[in-house]
Structure 1
Amino acid sequence: MPSAGFYIMHSLRSLRRRHWRWLVIAALFFLFFLLLDTPFAPPPSAPHPTLNLVRSSYDWSKWQPHNPVPSESLQPLPTAKPEKLARIQHVPSRHPKFDIAVQGRRRAEIKRAMQKSWNSYREFAWMRDELTPLTGTGKDTFSGWAATLVDALDTLWIMGMKEEFHEAAQAAVTLDWDVTQDTACNIKEPALLAKAVELGDMLYAGFDTPNHMPAPWLDFEKAKTGRLVPDDHQAAASAASLSMEFTRLAQLTGDNKYYDAVARVTDKLFESQNITGLPGMWPTFFDLRNGIFHNHDNTFTLGALSDSMYEYVLKMHLLLAATEPKYEQLYRATADTIVENLVFRPVIPDNLDILFTGTYHAEDPAWLETEGQHLACFVGGMLALGGRVLDIPGHVDIGARLTNGCIWAYNAFPTGLAPEIFKLVPCESLEGCEWDEQKWLEAVTNDEDGRDTLPKGFQNAREPAYLLRPEALESAFILYRITGQEEYREAAWEMFQSIQKVTETEYGYAAIEDVTVTGKPEQRDSMESFWMAETLKYLYLIFSPTDVVSLDDYVLNTEAHPLRIHKQ
């Protein structure tokens, strides 16, 4: 199974976590890596079916850029000797036999959910982008390039579903990148790597603009005729969230053009970081057409439209084993700014020591909007990971408190699930405050999105849906692997049980409309690819031995696909 990187950006309408519209399957080529680059790779002599590559009808490798980067100007991969990174994972103690048995039963239950989801996809939606879990059909939401199939490849491998993996991998290497119902896309196993390079070359065309900043859409005809231009109002994540995938492709192929493309964006981030409206962070939107990253917008968030940009700054430091110092500098400034300006503690009845992140508005005067997003639940894991790698103990603690906040949000609602977007009444400081029921009641009453059924502490649940998202489980997984504290595994198991109870359908698992209701909530006919690629994978891994996809050997990209860390 390949070290994977299927980077599916969400539409702005649904606020899916990833945002680069022209890269509907941008990092998909990392599901086309060598079997020997995987956490569960078989020995070299182990037989496996030969994959029969079918080339795409348009050969993007023969396409010539209209705005070529001179070969002498290409930024190469760092050549410094990889550093020995600090140990990330806790050293596991010997667990009693009953504990091993419990975790085995939990993995088996999660694998059954994966098998049900996959079998229904195979029967009713094969080669379509998504399964519709209520009606048992398929739909195409990402150019019809089998998004769920490709996104789930490494989950199949990690869970030991080898026959299903090989069947899916064979289907994947037949995809034709030039055949789609859309006119544009939202941006060592030889056959898998060859198909990866095909897609990589197509996506590289998205950087063929006058200033080499990526276009918002990879319009195929415009790319072929040299008419692509960046947008003057483009989401930050769309500019800065392909660095891991292109870097890994450069490492595998030895072709520096991929690394150069994303390094140019990194340089812009580096130049602008300390001159924005909130120095240390970047605004939600950039003017890529004019190369302006610092003052196009006054909103700073870790949620939709920005999230993976921040996540990748740290993960590039890991992927390159600290051989490019810019990424550590970028991350340290970002993390400090987040802690100082975006983190808040809510007013809740039992005054639990939990935190959330909000949205900072760099206005006069500046203010923090204490609206949380499920998407931003990844931040706890990010800060804990950065704190461990870069020896910032206080950030490990902040990461734990943020993760505990998201877990608390799940437990607060009758469905056992957290809403998509919600608002909380804040304390004056991170040290906590006494519960003030009158203050809370006034906040709920004065908020047009307030509800009579809200748990105490919540001002509203503006978007009350649950979309099968993975972010809270992602942070619980990272915190468990770092600290070894069993409370994170227990919380993850409770979350899984809640998910099963209200989302399971005849054919799979469905998003739900409202987490605030008692009883069975209304379900949506939607099961996005991240359900199998991320949510079930994180659940399976948190109950697996710590050497399975060890965080000391692999860094997981934004869609939970493990990329091997570049070491000596």
Structure 2
Amino acid sequence: MATYWRIHHATLLDVHHNSDWRDPESDSYFWKSLPILYPPSSVQALPTSGPVSFPAVQAISFPESSFEKALRKERRQAVKDTFTRAWTSYCEYAWLADELAPVTRGKRSAFGGWAATLVDSLDTLWIMDMREEFEDAVAAATTINFTRTDAGEINVFETTIRYLGGFLGAFDVSGDYRLLRKAVEVGEMLYKAFDTPNRMPITRWDLHAAMLNDKKKQVAGSSTLVAEIGSLSMEFTRLSILTGDPKWFDAVHTIAQRMEEQQMWTELPGLWPLVVDAEKLLFSLGSTFTLGAMADSAYEYLPKMSALLGGQMDLYQTMYERAAQAALRHNLFRPMVPTGEDILIAGVAHTSHGGRTVELEPAGQHLVCFFGGLMALGGRLFSRKQDFAAAEKLVDGCIWAYKSMPHGVMPETFKVYPCSSPQNCTWDELLWMTQVLRDNNVRDVESLSYSQLVQLVTEKNLPRGFTAIPDDAYLLRPEAIESIFILYRATGRKDLHDVAWNMFTAIDRITRTEFGNSAVRGVSSLRGKPLQTDSMESFWLGETLKYFYLVFSDPNIISLDDFVFNTEAHPLRRLLP
């Protein structure tokens, strides 16, 4: 298998010189033939200086005994069995729908009605060596019509990461040119979302209005989530690399240039505010700075873009290093926990008085668990020891959040108490109980007796160390196992195999249904199993189970020295020297 990846990589580098992938009817394709109302004044070309040699991301060796190898393969098979059960149900009950409803055997259309689960699962099917199922899925994917949808509005970010990323990732592992053709179809559609006076994309896009080519309908938003405008770069750039057409790279690189110009102008220099004004090209105004929901992948794509382009552009490394430095100073903190683990959580920073005051909100999110893996990647690529050290503590923080919950599964959001400093972090039971009541809106805490404190805290049913759990759902999210996978590949730490297995079995235990796995609510409940909500987003098959499978796979399979993953876990090939 390792030999296959090396040979296959060489055959794809110059794919745009091969005419086999081109559709002879592509010029008449609706989205390509639609006139551009606001064409760019010039188109920036892809860099041509040649890829550089980065330091290796993956560990040098992964020694294992025959027993350990057999156990690893047994666990990998268990993950594959879980995937197969859900995939079979999708095929039977929700074929070509966006999602399967895994409790009621229903189906949902949440992402344009273009078979999100099918497209998100393509590269997983290939990686899991399910070739017959892959062939059936590709044949079905070729029938998807991206000129028709019942959705009134398209989320450009979600469409990019799931559909464009899904087709590109599946092509980059399989070499099936039908997938590249579908990627071009999606890319032509999404390019129209950039047809605005300032060439900034409309992130929540009225696709039907765009079809009419009405100038009044095509204006970028004045209130845009930074993740949704800053996380299109990998997929668009890879599409340009593969086709030789620089227009997609030009579209997203223009965004990156504007973000880089204003990165050090914000109230928290190095980080961008949660909401930006794409219409006025203002990326620096705002007072909330998070690494989590609605901002996360804008940071995730910085070192990954550098790797994807083979280090040919300094801009992405520079932006990453600025952001990492700011996050280390303002967002990452050590929480007070009863067992004294030296871990880190990524919180939210709020500024006031023009940035002169910065206040930390010590809130954790499952989504932000991606940041440990990101800093491990950035630490390796750019030889930043401080980032890699923080990465290990961030991953350990998410592991702590999992194992501390009664069902062994981390909630969507939670609060903890930040230590006064990383060195001064002794557990204080009274301080913890007092903060529990404050975070749960109990007034006049100081007037309560110790016995009253104990009684009220007991009623909250909070694991020790947590001060509040605003959202106790688990939505089948992948971010924790994603970072464990990256850290394992970077270090070879054997203990992470057991950690990953314990996470997988805990998740499967509370989410498994007869037909797949369901998101749940109530992971902090001590009374029975959490409530299944009959939702199985496409990322369960496209991301979560893929990362679990890869943790237990041979490290040469999708090597991090050959690939980078987009935020939907689709592996894109890096340019290598």
Offset at residue 143 of structure 1 (A): 1.3
The separation in 2 between residues aligned to 1:62 and 1:413, in whole angstroms, is: 54
Does residue 195 of structure 1 match 2:182?
A: yes
- Kept after mapping to 1: 8 A contact 2:23/2:181: no
Does residue 487 of structure 1 match 2:474?
A: no
After TM superposition, list the pairs within 5 Å mapping 1:373-522 onto structure 2: 373-448=365-440, 452-518=460-526, 519-522=528-531
The separation in 1 between residues aligned to 2:492 and 2:326, in whole angstroms, is: 28
- Show CA shifts across 1:72-131 (max 9, x none): x21111111110110111012432111110011001000000000100000000000000
The separation in 2 between residues aligned to 1:40 and 1:253, in whole angstroms, is: 14
| Paired-residue identity, % | 44
- Kept after mapping to 1: 8 A contact 2:520/2:531: yes
Does residue 68 of structure 1 match 2:48?
A: no
The separation in 1 between residues aligned to 2:111 and 2:362, in whole angstroms, is: 33
Describe the shift of the 1:93–1:245 C-alpha distance in structure 2 as closer, same or farther (beyond 3 A): closer
Offset at residue 40 of structure 1 (A): 13
Q: Which amino acid aligns with 2:245?
A: D
After TM superposition, list the pairs within 5 Å mapping 1:147-296 onto structure 2: 147-187=116-156, 189-224=176-211, 225=213, 226=215, 227-295=217-285
- Matched residue, 2:450: none
Offset at residue 445 of structure 1 (A): 1.4
- Matched residue, 1:23: none
- Matched residue, 1:342: 331
Describe the shift of the 1:558–1:492 C-alpha distance in structure 2 as closer, same or farther (beyond 3 A): same
- Kept after mapping to 2: 8 A contact 1:53/1:195: no
- Matched residue, 2:315: 326
Describe the shift of the 1:39–1:103 C-alpha distance in structure 2 as closer, same or farther (beyond 3 A): farther
The separation in 1 between residues aligned to 2:93 and 2:131, in whole angstroms, is: 21
The separation in 2 between residues aligned to 1:290 and 1:153, in whole angstroms, is: 38
Q: Which amino acid aligns with 2:549?
A: Y
Describe the shift of the 1:97–1:176 C-alpha distance in structure 2 as closer, same or farther (beyond 3 A): same
Offset at residue 52 of structure 1 (A): 11
Structure 2: give runs of 5+ residues left out of the alignment.
16-20, 157-174, 442-456
Task: Find the structure with the greater CA-based Rg.
Answer: 2
Q: Which amino acid aligns with 2:88?
A: N
Offset at residue 217 of structure 1 (A): 2.4
Give the alignment's TM-score, normalised by structure 2: 0.88
Describe the shift of the 1:421–1:502 C-alpha distance in structure 2 as closer, same or farther (beyond 3 A): same
- Kept after mapping to 2: 8 A contact 1:39/1:158: no
- Show CA shifts across 1:500-558 (max 9, x none): 11110011101110111133111111010000011000000011111000000001110
Q: 1:302 aligns with which of 291, 314, 319?
A: 291
Does residue 117 of structure 1 match 2:86?
A: yes
The separation in 1 between residues aligned to 2:10 and 2:335, in whole angstroms, is: 39
Does the residue aligned with 1:541 lie in a helix, a strand or coil? helix
After TM superposition, list the pairs within 5 Å mapping 1:81-120 onto structure 2: 81-120=50-89
Q: CA RMSD in A?
A: 2.3
Q: Which amino acid aligns with 1:498?
A: A
Structure 1: give runs of 5+ residues left out of the alignment.
1-33, 45-49
Offset at residue 36 of structure 1 (A): 8.8
Does the residue aligned with 1:230 lie in a helix, a strand or coil? coil
- Kept after mapping to 1: 8 A contact 2:518/2:534: yes
The separation in 2 between residues aligned to 1:51 and 1:254, in whole angstroms, is: 12
The separation in 2 between residues aligned to 1:438 and 1:423, in whole angstroms, is: 17
- Matched residue, 1:29: none
Q: Which amino acid aligns with 2:47?
A: P
- Kept after mapping to 2: 8 A contact 1:125/1:138: yes
Describe the shift of the 1:355–1:372 C-alpha distance in structure 2 as closer, same or farther (beyond 3 A): same
After TM superposition, list the pairs within 5 Å mapping 1:107-146 onto structure 2: 107-146=76-115
- Matched residue, 2:574: 565
The separation in 2 between residues aligned to 1:124 and 1:195, in whole angstroms, is: 24
- Kept after mapping to 2: 8 A contact 1:380/1:475: yes
- Show CA shifts across 1:137-177 (max 9, x none): 11111111000000000001100111111100111111001
Give the alignment's TM-score, normalised by structure 1: 0.89
Offset at residue 258 of structure 1 (A): 0.3
Q: Which amino acid aligns with 1:534?
A: E
Does the residue aligned with 2:91 lie in a helix, a strand or coil? helix
The separation in 2 between residues aligned to 1:51 and 1:119, in whole angstroms, is: 32
The separation in 2 between residues aligned to 1:435 and 1:444, in whole angstroms, is: 14
- Show CA shifts across 1:273-324 (max 9, x none): 00101000100000101000001x2100011110000000110011011101
Q: 1:59 aligns with which of 30, 34, 45?
A: 30
Does the residue aligned with 2:352 lie in a helix, a strand or coil? coil
The separation in 1 between residues aligned to 2:520 and 2:25, in whole angstroms, is: 39
Does the residue aligned with 1:152 lie in a helix, a strand or coil? helix
